[in-house]
Structure 1
Amino acid sequence: MSSSKGKQVAGHIPPLPNPATGSANPAASLSSLWAYITPALDHIVKSSTNNTDKAPAIDVDFYAGVHSACYNYITSQTETFNSLAARQSTEIPMSGMDLYNQLDRYFGDAARDLLLGAPQDDSDLIHYILFSFKRYSVGAQSANRLLNYVNRHYVKRAVDEDKGWLTIGDVIERVAKSAKSTDTRDQLTWKLREKRADELRKWGDIDAGPEALAEAESCAEASSSADRIIPISSLAHRQFRLEVIEPLIAVPKIKKKGGKKKIPKSNGVGPKARLARAVKELLESSEIEEEEKTRLASELATMLRKVGVRSDHPLRKRLSKNPTPAPS
């Protein structure tokens, strides 16, 4: 993803075949498992293609092999950890945690590479970021399906143990302000559910149906702090926010010279984050048609929401003022 507009040379990418492993067991250790699945992840997430609708595929045998290797590795870990837990009083890590952490680092590195490849010219930045995110996101969703056993076994258990994007402690802190000593258990349960729904409504119209609810939750997951356990696709989106978007929306620090504060100039109005400058240039340009401006601004606003940038952020507020496209 190296051109100034973030476009790639089109080309059909054949499915990645199952690699020959000989008698080696991919599930024998984390290192052997990671060596086995990394080519699949690289093919899905990092292959050079301009297709932002669908990630490159892997051979069906390789797909099944990855699923089986993850299943066997986590299952063997579960048996080992259960045995240790029976003999020790200290807390034993959940099976699958090491693989999940490895995936977290992988998506962080992939996102960081995208930031390093960003064009220096602000006028090209929005095109590059939008293309890069679409390509990265379809890859993340494909990886989410490929590694669904990690979601089903590790992520679900972690969420059940109150380690997800919204914990009981988060909700109780808010409910406590309105709770009464006379509240029944059912009333408190209802308040907890309402507070969770209120948080989700910040990310979408959760009353519009199951798909809208799922999308709102994935945005909320991506907005969570790095210590929260979330599904792999949301994990990837969170890393895109942390490694790509946050550096681009961070306002430059005020420099000091001779003991005095010096404010970097940005068109005479003080320091601006790089992505904010690009948005300003886009919306004020006389060389770009209004319909194109609106399309880019709308796509950028959607991307920011998907990676967990909150609606009260100045850039999201700026983009929300841009009119939506008129029906064709």
Structure 2
Amino acid sequence: MSKGKGKQVEPPSLMAPLPNPSAGSANPSASLSSLWGYIQPALDHIVRIPSTNPDKAPAVDIAYHMGIHTATYNYFTSQSEAASALPPSPDKAPASGTDLYEQIDKYFAEVARELLLGAPVDDSSLIHYLVPCYKRYSAGAQSVNRLLNYVNRHYVKRAIDEDRGWLTMTDIFDAIAKSIEEGDTREKISKKLKERRTEELKKWGYQDEDAAELLANAEACAEAASSLDRVVPLSSVALRRFRTELVEPLLAVPKMKGKGKKRPPKASSDKHVGPKGRLARAVKELLENPTDNEPERNALATGLAVALRSTGVRADHPLRKKLDKFVESLPS
């Protein structure tokens, strides 16, 4: 606190924003490789650099931020102009921005695989590693989502409008086809489609009376749960890759060695007799072993439950059910 004027002195920043790199005479929007060479240092800074505050990603300088936006805009524009100059073709060319979107997806997959390789061998330390990892990665994903929002507005939005998003018309029609009757009006069919979409979002915690923020949160979870061929916003691309490249390998049950059929496990009061994935073993140890530090255990269980839901692990998965039940039992 400053004694002279009574104003609070802001603490110094722990990490200065990443400055705009000198590109010389090179044009960052000339090709995908040149654009990616310009963007990747910012992504590495935002996503990969260790941070003392896992809830907040390191920043990039405003000039660098604007430079990335401009270069991305110019790249998309040049792609669109090049496509329009080509003669008509029966083969539909990829939409402008497809290559950059796929490169970003590949980048997050690589980051998530690096986190998996860095996981401790000891199961008892796994959740202590995974929860801060998720927080740091998620904060980076949200920051990248803002940094490259032009990709969302130009490419992702158009793909969703073209029915390539997390929930397609085919998905919905397949589910409600039997309920459509001859003579149904367009309004009635539209209502059924909307109801079906709401049903899907309810699987991720949404309720009809929920605020827009909770609706957006449920949709983000559904996007992260989608298959890799579905086009989703970049924040959901990142969380989906956290699931496919990090969480799912940790959930996987190891294959039994040897040949032939295995004998069924002996009767036991434990419903989960048999081999378990690493994460299941770690959760069992966290929740069932006595501890002198209940606040830490509860925080880890809550953090892991949030991570599983946010990255698209479905509510009927046994481990999610176990964690959710434990978290719900905690005093509010």
TM-score (norm 1): 0.92
CA distance in 1: counterparts of 2:111 and 2:34, whole angstroms = 21
Q: Is residue 49 from structure 1 mapped to residue 51 from structure 2 by the alignment?
A: yes
Q: Is residue 20 from structure 1 mapped to residue 22 from structure 2 by the alignment?
A: yes
Q: Is residue 104 from structure 1 mapped to residue 105 from structure 2 by the alignment?
A: yes
1:218 partner letter: A
Which residue, 279, 302, 305 being the options, matches 1:301?
305
Structure 1 runs of 4+ off > 2 angstroms? 86-89, 259-264, 287-295
1:301 Cα shift?
Answer: 1.0
Query: How do 1:1-328 and structure 2 match up within 5 A?
Result: 12-84=14-86, 86-206=87-207, 207-257=209-259, 259=260, 261=262, 269-322=273-326, 323-327=328-332
CA distance in 2: counterparts of 1:288 and 1:253, whole angstroms = 35
Q: Helix, strand or coil: the match of 1:217? A: helix
Q: Helix, strand or coil: the match of 1:256? A: coil
Q: Helix, strand or coil: the match of 1:321? A: helix
1:293 Cα shift?
Answer: 2.6
1:285 Cα shift?
Answer: 1.5
Name the Cα RMSD after superposition: 1.9
Q: Helix, strand or coil: the match of 1:253? A: coil
Q: Helix, strand or coil: the match of 2:258? A: strand
CA distance in 1: counterparts of 2:308 and 2:253, whole angstroms = 17
Deviations 1:24-60 (A, max 9, x none): 0000000000000000000000001131221100111
CA distance in 1: counterparts of 2:240 and 2:224, whole angstroms = 4
The 1:123–1:263 alpha-carbon spacing in structure 2 relative to 1, beyond 3 Å, is: farther
Select between 59-68 and 268-277 the one with higher mean Cα deviation.
268-277
Instruction: Report if aligned partners of 1:71, 1:149 keep a CA contact under 8 Å in 2.
Output: yes
Q: Helix, strand or coil: the match of 2:160? A: helix
CA distance in 1: counterparts of 2:48 and 2:38, whole angstroms = 16
TM-score (norm 2): 0.91
1:270 Cα shift?
Answer: 1.2
1:269 Cα shift?
Answer: 2.7
Deviations 1:83-105 (A, max 9, x none): 22x43232111000000000000
1:262 Cα shift?
Answer: 7.8
Q: Helix, strand or coil: the match of 2:223? A: helix
1:223 partner letter: A
Q: Helix, strand or coil: the match of 1:221? A: helix
Instruction: Report if aligned partners of 1:112, 1:243 keep a CA contact under 8 Å in 2.
Output: yes
CA distance in 2: counterparts of 1:140 and 1:34, whole angstroms = 17
CA distance in 1: counterparts of 2:294 and 2:210, whole angstroms = 30
Select between 50-59 and 221-230 the one with higher mean Cα deviation.
50-59
1:67 partner letter: H
CA distance in 1: counterparts of 2:147 and 2:220, whole angstroms = 18
Instruction: Report if aligned partners of 1:251, 1:273 keep a CA contact under 8 Å in 2.
Output: yes
CA distance in 1: counterparts of 2:88 and 2:168, whole angstroms = 30
Select between 87-96 and 234-243 the one with higher mean Cα deviation.
87-96
1:261 Cα shift?
Answer: 3.7
Unaligned runs of 5+ in 1: 1-10
2:244 partner letter: L
Deviations 1:213-268 (A, max 9, x none): 000000000000000000000000000000000001111122224x454899xx99
1:288 Cα shift?
Answer: 4.2
Q: Which of 1 and 2 has greater Rg?
A: 2
